Chains A and B, each alone.
Chain A
Amino acid sequence: MVELAARLAGIVGERRVMLRAGELRTYESDGLPGYRSTPSLAVFPGTRDETIAVVKALAASHTSFVARGAGTGLSGGALADNVVLLGLHRLKRIVAIDGDNARAVVEPGVVNALLTAAASAYGLHYAPDPSSQSACTIGGNVAENAGGPHCLKYGVTLNHVIALTVLLPDGEVVTLGNPDGESEGYDLLGAFVGSEGCFGVVLDATIRLERNPQAVRTLLADFASVDGAAHAVSDIIAAGIVAAAMEMMDNAAIQVVEASIYAAGYPVDAAAILLIELDGAAAGLDDDVARVAQFCKAAGARAVRVAADPADRARLWQGRKKAFGAMGRVSPHLVVQDAVVPRTRLPQVLADIHHIGVRHGVNVCNVFHAGDGNLHPNIGYDANDADEAARVHAAMGEIMQVCIDAGGTITGEHGVGLDKLPYMDSLFTPDTLGAMCALRSVFDPERRANPGKVVPVHRCREWLAAPAARAGHPR
């Protein structure tokens, strides 16, 4: 390892290779600090050429590595367990913005919100807006196929990536997708986006930007019951109204946000609130606002108000986006899930989650993308209390099972990473998992990129034993 460190230091400079415990500490976890893994070393290239040289050096010594952006992921996906951590946050150049064609070319370390800030001069924005957008990077967004409140209308990361220049784990540079049109052959870009760092790393991404809408209305609906809010969501969607975003927060989440520096003026006695955004052409928008308000009231909303001005709107959104971080106010540790259920099943699933929480004596707090049926149950707890920790993990397991039984899945936008590995078996057959392993081998036949994530290794045991024989014969 010392020899490898010296070789890497020759590429990126000594300061950018870290080996000592005191240097590696913060790189041992991402946005889900319940997990910790110590990398064998961490390396931080500052340019594209350095990145290529580093990955080639790792390939030459058959060394496994894990790519990491800003370390804000919520599935343990960027944890390196005794392998090399490849930090890409220093590659933060916005290479070009083409206002006329609403496109940008960015390096992987560009922070999501900074891309929107740069695009705003052209009347454009980058639509996928994960709550961590003030810190998370585009490279990480591509790896996780990140979502966000506004993906309800505008689509997720995949819908905003036109092409990628990708560095495969063996050091080869390839282009996926075609900046000038539809690419020939299989959609490898579609396979790469959301591959959670197992297929390689992004060197640059050609991004589709969205025009800023002519008009925006943000509604805050105050419900006396979670069930009422859930029904309002189903009714609005069933009526064919395409909202830009439809977010729900329950009382526990409201309380946490209102106690924080991001207090947004949510009603603290509401059982749930919906934050609904409508945007588009100004003509007819207020008719939709009236219809949405009508649906909310019919489902039992006590009050519906429309944000008065852009500052008010920003405040309502900041409260929602900082809700996860604000959980630290109530408890030292946190688990957060990312299940998706069919939207029509929301009322029942939320009721089941509530009962699971009560039965295990844990406080489940919900703040989520209701319009997508993408749930984020959070449970705050004290990890030093072994009994409480055990109850939290039991409750989380049951919650995931309820979601799967409702016809849902285990991740909407956070990725599988490490955290959701145990649930993969409940969702996929061994054949399907084997097919995933085979797809990966197209990009990373040595399986050195982000080892141990996404697909449970034991499912690939036979495949691991004889990779060559199985190539082309996915099980």
Chain B
Amino acid sequence: MSRGAGVTTPCAIPGTPLADARAGLDACVHCGSCLQACPTYLVLEDENDSPRGRLDLMRALVDGILPTSDPDVRSHIDRCLGCRACEPACPSGVPYGHLLEATRATLTAERPNPFIVRLILFAFARPALLHAAMFGGRVTRALRLSRLLARLPGRIGFAMAMLESTRSPLPHRTYQPRSDGSRGAVAVLQGCVMEGLFAETNRATSRTLAANDFSIVEAPGQRCCGALHAHAGDIDTARTLARANIIAFERSGAEVIAVNAAGCGAIMKEYGVLLADDAAWRDRATVFAARVRDITELLASAGPRLGAPVPVTVTYDAPCHLLHAQHIASPPLRVLAAVPGLVLMPLAESEHCCGSAGIYNPVEPETSERVLEPKLRHIAATGAALVATGNPGCLMQIGAGLHQARMSARAIHPVDLLDASYAAERS
């Protein structure tokens, strides 16, 4: 037994991102409040797969107790969803998401990410490649190959079910909303997966904003938000993408940047932190970040205006990067409440991660699936026809889970429901 007092431990990994973030580790007093908030702890039942356990491992790296090459450190850090559900549970305010990214960046420098991670990150940072991949996805979907291939077992089958689930469950809508522009100019982040596979939702985003008297401006030159790169430890690429986006949106003249993907919105609101060490960009990034809004925040600030009835039962699942990272709880519900005839069924454990977590699903398929299991069970218990959630990863993870479990419920973005309500006014 040792008493942890007396000796000052020098940092064993000076100059690494984790060493720079080490002050955040000191806030943890090991109280355990985070345990029951952590999806991987609940399903894997190992404290090493809990926030407290992972913080212990991070501290062990800083103190030189464990080397950065330790395989256990690697696997438990890799297995974190990055859902940040531990943050609102933490009385001490440990900046867990920030520490996780710093740890991943430190470990990646030691040993590169798995091939599949590098492949995905490579593609998302290159528009031409990304567009080609998304085009391929749309062709597969249009030819209904995805439906066929979703029957395959394992990763391929699940990936195809994800793709198949991106087909909109609502009929195609084309109305022209009238806007007096009185609520100011908004530029919409198109997003990689959103524009690639959920283009209909992007159109709905612009239409519902206009219908609530925002004016929409274009922001050409915008790129991937960089969230996937930051979460996987590729901070440099994340910063490059952030700078490109700041330039593009500044040029657009928009007062506000609307984001309909919770994961993207979360990182864009943190551009100031991401670029904190870059003196030339820090202030611009902070100003930019303060102008980012989730689409439901903007719509809720405008009411939103009620539409025509859409009789449907819906349940709402909170994306982690909306609820835990952006602390946005009620605006999505206010958007759904603006749809007359929509019956909202409460979803048990809606604050728990669905297991999507960016690119977690292809990287840690087994854990991802186990985290998804209780989610599907709770959805089934609501009897709802649609599961509303505002993030492409969650839409596809839940959508694929429902598809493979042969459940009739479908996943949908809340904005699509409001848009359908506005479209119904004209029919």
Q: Which A residues contact B (CB, under 8 angstroms)? A: 15, 20-23, 25-37, 44, 46, 70-72, 79, 81, 89-90, 111, 113-114, 132, 134-136, 257, 260-262, 322-329, 332-334, 383-384, 386, 389, 393, 418
4 A-B pairs with the lowest CB-CB distances in the bound complex, closest first: A22-B72, A328-B92, A325-B91, A332-B26
Q: Which residues of B contact A324 (CB under 8 A)?
A: 29, 31, 91
Residues of chain B lying within 8 A (CB to CB) of residue A261: 87-88, 90-91, 93
Given contacts A23-B48, A25-B57, A26-B57, contact A326 B1 (CB under 8 A): no
Which residues of B in the span 23-74 have a Cβ within 8 Å of any Cβ on A?
Answer: 26-33, 35-36, 45-48, 50, 52-53, 56-57, 60, 65-66, 70-73
Would you mind naming 22 contact pairs between A and B with Cβ atoms under 8 Å apart? A21-B66, A26-B48, A31-B29, A31-B30, A33-B4, A33-B29, A33-B30, A36-B2, A44-B46, A71-B30, A132-B31, A134-B36, A135-B31, A261-B93, A324-B31, A325-B29, A327-B29, A329-B93, A333-B5, A333-B29, A383-B4, A389-B5
- Whether B57 lies near A326 (C-beta < 8 A) is no
* B93: A residues at CB distance < 8 A: 260-261, 326, 328-329
B92/A26 in contact, CB under 8 A: no
State how many angstroms separate the Cβ of B23 from the closest Cβ of chain A.
9
In addition to A31-B32, A383-B4, 10 A-B residue pairs with Cβ atoms within 8 Å of each other are A21-B66, A25-B57, A26-B52, A34-B5, A36-B4, A44-B45, A257-B91, A261-B87, A329-B93, A384-B9
B114 within 8 Å of A (CB atoms):
no
- The smallest C-beta distance from A336 to any residue of chain B, in angstroms, reads 9
- B35 touches which of A70, A322, A326, A384 (Cβ 8 Å): A70
B172, CB-defined interface residue at 8 Å: no
A389 to B73, CA, bound (A): 30
B3 touches A71 (CB 8 A): no
- Whether, in the assembled complex, B7 has its beta carbon less than 8 Å from a beta carbon of chain A, the answer is yes
Q: What's the minimum C-beta distance from B417 to chain A, rounded to whole angstroms?
A: 28
Q: A23–B27 Cα gap in the complex (Å)?
A: 22
* B26 adjacent to A328 (CB under 8 Å): yes
Given A44-B45, A81-B1, A389-B5, do A22 and B66 touch, yes or no (CB 8 Å)?
A: yes
Set of chain A residues within 8 Å of B56, measured between Cβ atoms: 25-26, 28-29
CB distance from A26 to the nearest CB of B (A): 4
Residues of B within 8 A of A23 (CB): 48, 72
Our pick among B8, B31, B71, B87 for the contact of A72 (Cβ within 8 Å) is B31
Do A25 and B30 form a contact, CB below 8 Å, given A33-B4, A81-B1?
Answer: no
A-B contact count (CB 8 A): 146
Q: Is the CB of A26 within 8 A of B6?
A: no
Residues of chain B lying within 8 A (CB to CB) of residue A325? 29, 31, 33, 90-92
Shortest distance from the beta carbon of A355 to any chain B beta carbon, whole Å: 24
In the complex, what distance in Å separates the CA atom of A213 from the CA atom of B73?
Answer: 48
| B94 adjacent to chain A (CB < 8 Å) | yes
CB distance from A349 to the nearest CB of B (A): 25
Q: Is the CB of B70 within 8 A of A22?
A: yes
Across the interface, do A383 and B5 meet the contact criterion of CB distance under 8 Å?
Answer: yes
Instruction: Please determine whether B29 and A25 come into contact, CB atoms closer than 8 angstroms.
Output: no
Q: Cβ of B32 and Cβ of A132 under 8 Å apart?
A: yes
| Cβ A70 vs Cβ B31 within 8 A | no
In the bound complex, residues from chain A placing their C-beta under 8 Å from that of B26 are 328, 332
In the complex, how many angstroms separate the beta carbon of B327 from the nearest chain A beta carbon? 9
Smallest beta-carbon distance B3→chain A, Å:
6
B2 CB to nearest A CB, Å: 5
The distance from the CB of B109 to the nearest CB of chain A, in whole angstroms, is 19
Given known pairs A22-B72, A29-B30, A44-B45, the reply for A135 and B5 (CB within 8 Å) is: no
Task: Evaluate whether A136 and B7 lie within 8 angstroms (CB atoms) in the complex, with A328-B26, A332-B26 already known.
Answer: no
Residues of A within 8 A of B30 (CB): 29-33, 71
Residues of B close to A90: CB separation below 8 A = 45
| A22-B57 contact given A34-B3, A34-B4, A135-B33, CB 8 Å threshold | yes
Find out whether the CB atom of A322 lies under 8 angstroms from the CB atom of B33.
Answer: yes
Using Cβ atoms and an 8 Å threshold, which residues of chain B touch A27? 47
Give bound CA distance, A384 to B22, whole Å: 14
Q: How far is the CB of A369 from chain B (nearest CB, A)?
A: 18
